[in-house]
Amino acid sequence: MAKETPKEKAKDQPKVNKEQFKAQKKEQHQAKLQLTEIPKGPVAPLPKGYKVRVSDNYLTAVRPALMKDFNLSSPMAAPKLVKVVINIGVSEAKENIQALDLAKEDLMLISGQNPQVRRAKKSISNFKLREGMPIGVRVTLRGIRMFEFFDRFVSISVPRIRDFQGFDPRFFDGRGNLNIGLKEHHIFPEINMEKSPKARGMNITFVTTAGDDKKGKALLEYLGMPFKKPEVKKPAAK
């Protein structure tokens, strides 16, 4: 039997209208957009129309309150939370690389994002450290993941800290950014105690656009961050 030529095959196939062709192209374009909108990393895609509680609260209640307290004329001048940076130092990684993998997995569970491995910039002979050695993991959260982490940290993790009485306002760096040091990462419910029995310290930095500590504290306090209340001196008994 003679083989069919490409022209004969094209004749046999049903003709596609211009409207159908445009509809198919539109569906393909929407499918590509949906793929790009799904957040990258070890997290499930967010449902359609999902709103973050802390972000919604900032727009409706916190920002108007900050504008009123500091006499700001524009909502763009109100301080806001920009990013959250989480660091975990792993000093034993230079001898046991598995410790680094475990810390990386723990930070991934806590943040919902793949962490970055941090390496030594200088060689220090006293600490048996060479340039380029892995010494920790870091992750930077922005947008939805930042507000989700903030909500989980304040609502669930902070109440699990032993003898917690509020964060010290002196933890601010002078520009409205709050630096918190934690002794144990077990306060996060995502951590499995059987897989990660050793408690690891971590540093969390909340970066804001406040510019000074007063505005930065007011912003985080309105969002729900608990701070130590100033001690009221009792009058001496006569």
66 lies in a domain?
A: no
Alpha-carbon span 182 to 197, nearest angstrom: 16
Domain count, the chain: 1
Alpha-carbon span 152 to 86, nearest angstrom: 14
Across 2-11, 17-26, 197-206, 214-223, least confident range: 2-11
Q: In the prediction, which pLDDT does 37 show?
A: 41
Assess contact for 89 and 138: CB atoms under 8 A.
no
Q: In the prediction, which pLDDT does 38 show?
A: 39
Closest Cα to residue 39, out of 27, 52, 29?
A: 52
Half-sphere exposure of 119 (CA within 13 A, CB side): 5
CATH code assigned at 106: 3.30.1440.10
232 lies in a domain?
A: no
67: burial class by Cβ within 10 Å (0-12, 13-18, 19+)?
middle
Alpha-carbon span 63 to 219, nearest angstrom: 8
118 lies in a domain?
A: yes
Average pLDDT for 82-97:
84
For the segment 154-177, what is each residue's pLDDT rounded down to a tens digit? 999 999 988 888 888 888 988 899
Q: In the prediction, which pLDDT does 164 show?
A: 86
28 lies in a domain?
A: no
Average pLDDT over the chain, rounded to whole? 80
Amino acid at 224: G
Closest Cα to residue 62, out of 225, 172, 213?
A: 225
For the segment 176-230, what is each residue's pLDDT rounded down to a tens digit? 999 999 988 889 988 888 888 888 889 999 999 998 899 999 999 999 999 887 7
For the segment 40-53, what is each residue's pLDDT rounded down to a tens digit? 444 556 677 777 88
Q: In the prediction, which pLDDT does 31 show?
A: 57
Domain coverage including residue 194: 79-223
Looking at the chain, the whole-number percentage of residues with pLDDT higher than 70 is: 79
105 lies in a domain?
A: yes
185 lies in a domain?
A: yes
73 lies in a domain?
A: no
Residue ranges with strand state E in 99-225: 116-119, 134-141, 178-182, 202-208
